[in-house]
Structure 1
Amino acid sequence: METEQLYREHRSMLIGLAYRMLGSAADAEDIVQDTFIAFAQVSEENVRSAKSYLCKMVANRCIDKLRGSASKRETYIGPWLPEPVITDDGGSLEGDPLSRYVHKESLSTAYLLLLQQLTWTERAVFLLREVLDFEYDEIAEVVGKSSVNCRQIFRRAKRGIGEAPLATPSLQGKTMELVQRFAEAMQSGSVPKLLEVLAADAVMRNDGGGKILAATKPILGADRIIRFFMGIQAKSEGAYSFAFTEVNGLSGIVTLKNGRPHGVMSFEVRDDQIVNLFYVVNPEKLTLLQADRIRPIA
């Protein structure tokens, strides 16, 4: 099969695998691009299944990347969050893998953080089985272990992940409603309304990566989260506004400062309240943010 045809057929899937492995869409794009360049030089007689072979190449490159960045992660300033991906293409970006790789079972920020707790091999096995629906024989070929061993690794990874929610339509709708109420309360500065949507023990993680002013520890409790946002708005020299969008398959918010994207918020919802708020303001993680996917709040 021609490399170009394989590229069209498998690119989105491979970017999805790499993004979930790494938590970085930019790195996922680069790895998949490098993989196809290298694959073009591979002899056909060494490839039984192009799909499995490509996944193996991507997974190995991801693991190499993770090994190389392990020390950076340990010294990362403040909470580390995955790079947010705007998955609301508005029908205008057909063919863009960044608009498709999260799919209908899209992984929320909370889910991606749970994946980070797995070992690199567990993460690869789990994603290939749970997300990409590979058979164990195929997974064995990718990770270089027996199918029996892969079954054991998957069960161990599944226990580690627990019952984290996927972005089902019901969760999507619930999140959308709460995000809208949260944004309206933020715009009006209504503390009582914010307290209605935030769980009393809600937690906010703010990822600035040392590149921009941000909380370096998780903020615990609805009262403290509200004070944080009110304080930021009061001290800011510019005007803050909000825009709805879809972040990693769920409703989210892009914060705008003087009309320009400043950060991305995503949420975890439970029992009709926001229990976790993830706020990425590290400019290095916002490079793929595209203005035409952002709908300002009227």
Structure 2
Amino acid sequence: MEEQIYLSYKPLMFSLAYRMLGSVMDAEDVVQEAFLYANETNLDHVHNPKAYLCKIVTNRCIDNLRSASKKREVYVGPWLPEPLLTPSADRQISPDLAYTHKESLSTAYLLLLQQLSWIERAVFLLREVLQYEYDEIAEIVGKSSTNCRQIFRRAKNAISLPPERDLEAKAPLKQTTAVVEQFVHALMSGNIGQLLTLVKSDAVLFSDGGGKVKAAVHPITGVERIAKFLSGVLTKLPEGYHFTLTSVNDQLGIVAFVNELPNNVMTFQVEDGQIKSFYIVSNPDKLRHLEKSRTEA
């Protein structure tokens, strides 16, 4: 395979695979396998290399999801997608996919996608996020363009996306960043009064430890309970704990370390100037790629 094809389409393939799987490491594996498989094919005889590669990636993602479905059924506590550090992702996503940075990387968006069947997810992403025409989608997923239209409509209705296609429309990026920064300052300074004003009364905190580390097995609801939980966590921080604010899934998030090893990642959903949802990933299996990226940095 020509190196130019690899360089041109790898960002697109990763964009699709990550949103299908919610896993950075699995997405990287799927993309690598897809290019290895395609390398064995004489692409000179392939009419549309991009659609051909998307078809391979889509099928491999569905195979991956099928094999992981039983593990998901017995997963301990809430399941959250692997956090993606978007400063590095900026180098992976081509300019024509700039829209994906506005909404489709957020943790809340990725969780909405989990409500869809595998084929619905593929059709929805190819159309809504990657802006494919229905004829192209039909070629990729092996269904008629009419059927793809129906699947897309059903998928969009199922996850109740707002018509303006902007999950974070009520919270522009600058506002989200300001709220998160204020929240972190209030939490670290112990200013519970300020913290309560920054979090919605019916907010929900999801903590994904995967049964590997201590985490809340059930979502924590209500601003008072969340404040109490987070304050309790702060009193038990291990020696060598430190954190940094950085772009995670294209929103400002917190990446925490203990002795330079990633300990947890927290992202947020902001609505109307307040935090509506907290997402904490502490499952070490979902943080391994952060060790790799930190080593390579």
Q: TM-score, normalised by structure 2?
A: 0.90
Residue 16 of structure 2 is matched in structure 1 by 17
The equivalent position to 1:136 in structure 2, one of 134, 137, 140, is 134
Letter in 1 for 2:5: L
Residue 161 of structure 2 is matched in structure 1 by 163
Q: What runs of 5+ residues in structure 2 fail to find an aligned partner?
A: none
Change (3 A) 1:281 1:102: farther
In 1: Cα distance, 2:99 partner to 2:231 partner: 33
In 2: Cα distance, 1:95 partner to 1:88 partner: 8
Q: Within the alignment, does 1:71 sit opposite 2:70 as a pair?
A: yes
Q: What is the CA distance between 1:106 and its match in structure 2? A: 4.0
Q: What is the CA distance between 1:243 and its match in structure 2? A: 1.5
Q: Deviations over 1:76-133 (max 9, x none)?
A: 01000000001124xxx874459x8984334210000000100000000000011111
Contact 1:167 1:249 in 2 (8 A): no
Q: 5 Å matches for 1:139-288? A: 139-163=137-161, 165-166=166-167, 171-238=172-239, 240-257=241-258, 260-288=261-289
Change (3 A) 1:242 1:182: farther
- Worse-matched range after superposition: 14-23 or 167-176: 167-176
Q: What is the CA distance between 1:258 and its match in structure 2? A: 5.0
In 2: Cα distance, 1:264 partner to 1:161 partner: 25
Q: TM-score, normalised by structure 1?
A: 0.90
Q: Indicate the SS of the match to 1:88.
A: helix
Letter in 2 for 1:25: V
Q: Deviations over 1:170-221 (max 9, x none)?
A: 6211110111011101110111111011111100000011111100110011
Change (3 A) 1:3 1:160: farther
In 2: Cα distance, 1:34 partner to 1:66 partner: 15
Identity of aligned residues (%): 48
Letter in 2 for 1:250: Q
Q: Indicate the SS of the match to 1:201.
A: strand
The equivalent position to 2:120 in structure 1, one of 119, 122, 131, is 122
Contact 1:255 1:263 in 2 (8 A): yes
Q: 5 Å matches for 1:75-114? A: 75-89=74-88, 95-96=91-92, 103-107=100-104, 108-114=106-112
Contact 2:75 2:210 in 1 (8 A): yes
How many pairs does the alignment contain?
A: 290
Letter in 1 for 2:61: C
In 2: Cα distance, 1:180 partner to 1:12 partner: 30
Letter in 1 for 2:150: Q
Change (3 A) 1:131 1:238: same
Q: What is the CA distance between 1:283 and its match in structure 2? A: 1.1
Letter in 1 for 2:289: L
Change (3 A) 1:254 1:104: same
Q: What runs of 5+ residues in structure 1 fail to find an aligned partner?
A: none
Change (3 A) 1:67 1:18: same
Change (3 A) 1:194 1:119: same
In 2: Cα distance, 1:291 partner to 1:106 partner: 25
In 2: Cα distance, 1:170 partner to 1:193 partner: 19
Letter in 1 for 2:143: K
Letter in 1 for 2:191: S
Q: What is the CA distance between 1:143 and its match in structure 2? A: 0.4
Q: Deviations over 1:129-153 (max 9, x none)?
A: 1111111000000000000000111
Contact 1:88 1:293 in 2 (8 A): no
Q: Indicate the SS of the match to 2:278.
A: strand
